Amino acid sequence: MTVAIGYILISVLAGAIGQITLKYGMTQTGQITLSLHDIVPTLWKIGTNPYVIGGLTLYVCGTVFWLAALSRVDLSYAYPFASLSYVIMLTASWLLFNENITPLRLAGTLIVMLGVFLISRSG
């Protein structure tokens, strides 16, 4: 079980860091439109950004660890741990992107953390 929890946590961390990296890459890329007229230049602009590539790579790595975890534990046990990414994202958004964290967002995140704790105790 301990190895599986390690795999789960690595997967969650890789996914969260991947999101942060994608966000940083998209702030460099700028706002995009999804019109058919601009699709090729838009995809090129996104696909050649090293932070976007890095973020997607982290997702793939996280998926490998997630699959390893799922081979060892029940999905109903593993999946709630994915919500830890909310905690990471809330903190990173505030620290790295100066996003506003409202009291309700903070309270919701604390409730998520409590839920993960309770599920982790259920074995």
Q: What is the pLDDT of residues 31-77, one digit of tens each?
A: 888 888 888 989 999 999 999 999 999 999 999 999 999 999 999 88
The span from the CA of 38 to the CA of 62, in Å, is 31
Which structure tokens are listed for 111?
Answer: 């409730």
Q: How distant, in Å, are the alpha carbons of 48, 90, 112 from that of 108?
A: 36, 10, 6
Amino acid at 79: Y
Q: How distant, in Å, are the alpha carbons of 50, 51, 98 from that of 28?
A: 10, 9, 16
The whole-number pLDDT of residue 1 equals 66
Mean pLDDT (whole number) for 90-117: 89
